[in-house]
Structure 1
Amino acid sequence: MNNKIFVIVVTFNGMRWIEDCLNSILNSAVSSNVIVIDNCSTDGTIEFIKLNFKSVLLVQQNKNLGFGAANNIGLNIALEKGGEYFVLLNQDAYLKENTIGLLVEQMKANPEYGVLSPVHLNGQGNRMDLLFQTYVTVNNCKDFYSDLFLKKDLKNIYDVSFVNAAIWLLSKTTLQNVGGFNPYFFHYAEDNDYINRCQFKKLKVGIVPKSVALHDRNVSERKLTLKTFDNINDVKLLNPNNSWTVNKMLKFILKKILLSILLFNKRDFTYNFSYFSKTLKNYKIVKKLQRESMYKEYSFLTSSQS
């Protein structure tokens, strides 16, 4: 077993996928240590893993910590055990036999990358994942589609401005410089925030086209909700690459509240007032998180392995 590579899977009621997910890791050409952080599943996921995957380190939580905080627990454990490379894998994602090996090979050869991702196919593996296609557009991923269409030799890595955290490879260097996920994000947008912080630390994000994995999810139309509204503003507020202070954000949202009153827009008023109240309440917390994400080694992780 490769003691330097760790695969971390966060589970929450994942019985539908967990057998295929864990088997895909154990059947990889490159062996790895597997850590499952379970967010208080109630559908039999915990019992199934204990019975069928005894080599997996299962860490149970007594409540749902969300995606980022649970991954941070796994990353801390992996660092303490001497990990050098860390695959973050969704419970609804499956690796191909050579996925890990190809990602680690490119990370070793290209240490300027903070995050590497395989190409994401759908759950059947017969087409590219629908949302993944939005991350490799002409604007976000130069030359990828052009090289595919013209049947050119594909590059080892294509730079992207964003790729979701369903299947990520991080290195110890990444964790030392960028840290773990910001705990301010419970679920969704924590990967947007993480990539902003990679860019702040001058680390690149890339797709390894010869490395492929499956993401077995149903992609439906997403409508704006109070939660997504919060996430959009939180990503902007906590982005170290811009100048959004807490005071600036509060003034911006206050103007939005006043405008919504003038226009009798009930929905906008509700969203903006809720966000204003939340941000004002968390004023000191946000300022602390802003500082930590920019200046602290292993931000949001307890480990300080050297």
Structure 2
Amino acid sequence: MSVTDLARPAGERRPGPGTARRPGLPRAVLRSLAVLLRHPGAALSALWIVLVVAAAVAPSLFAPGDPLAIDPAARLQGPSLDHLFGTDRLGRDLFGETVHGTGRTLPAAALATVVGLGAGTLLGLLAGFLRAATDLVIMRLIDVLLSIPGLLLALMLVAVLGEGDTLDVGIAIGVAAVASTARVMRAEVLRVSESGFVEAARTGGARWTRVVLRHVLPNSLGPVWVLTLLLFGEAILGVTTLSFLGFGAQPPTPEWGALVSSGRDFLGSAWWLSLLPGAVVALTVLAANRVSHAVEERTGRR
């Protein structure tokens, strides 16, 4: 392999014998989709996630009508064809509340994922590429974040940001997820930075910004893509947990954690109030984890 080949951008370099590099983000996405088609369990999990996202975008397609409409004559009725998830203590349709609550929980979880991945990727990239004092300072900050339990850190941040908005909860969960993402990204950047094509680009006089944007960053994003759905599932669980504790959306706004919390006083007589919204939360988190693990298994066998 010539120096010219080594100095090619990541997407243009000719593959040579023995060069096993992890793909950049676009190729990782395509391979992830191929994995889903080969694994029925992962495909069903992906389908569930698509349905949940669709419910967040257009809840009226799944549950038309006002989810907060009160019907005292129908209070605390069990699941039936008229009310798939039953009704709550005010006669409101629990299925409609759960579907419309998706529009509060998922955006907060998506915001948490964006914050965690964005900030973590940036910190890991700077730490792994610049090294020296920058690496030392950033990794000590990461160590401090890792020393605090994620839920406790999120609670502290929510107390600072305020407790009246689910998006504030999403930001808090995202900050708590920065440390794990930064460590993964830093490890990948350190590995890619030692590659021959990066060294050749540096030797050829390429500016450090070009080296980072054209060589290091695209070839370090594969594991971050795998981590995305895993963090998304953890973010849903974190947002729901804080909402269950009374943070985030306030009644009567439907939200998954708030729905589970509102039914805990009726577990003996109306089990569906907490169990069915909680089952939706559990299925969504498990589906995200299943898809993430399927993609991770595939990338680990390359």
TM bin (shorter chain): under 0.3
Structure index of larger Rg: 2
More helix by share: 2
Select the structure with the greater relative contact order (CA < 8 A; seq sep ≥ 6).
2
**TM, length-normalised to structure 2:** 0.24
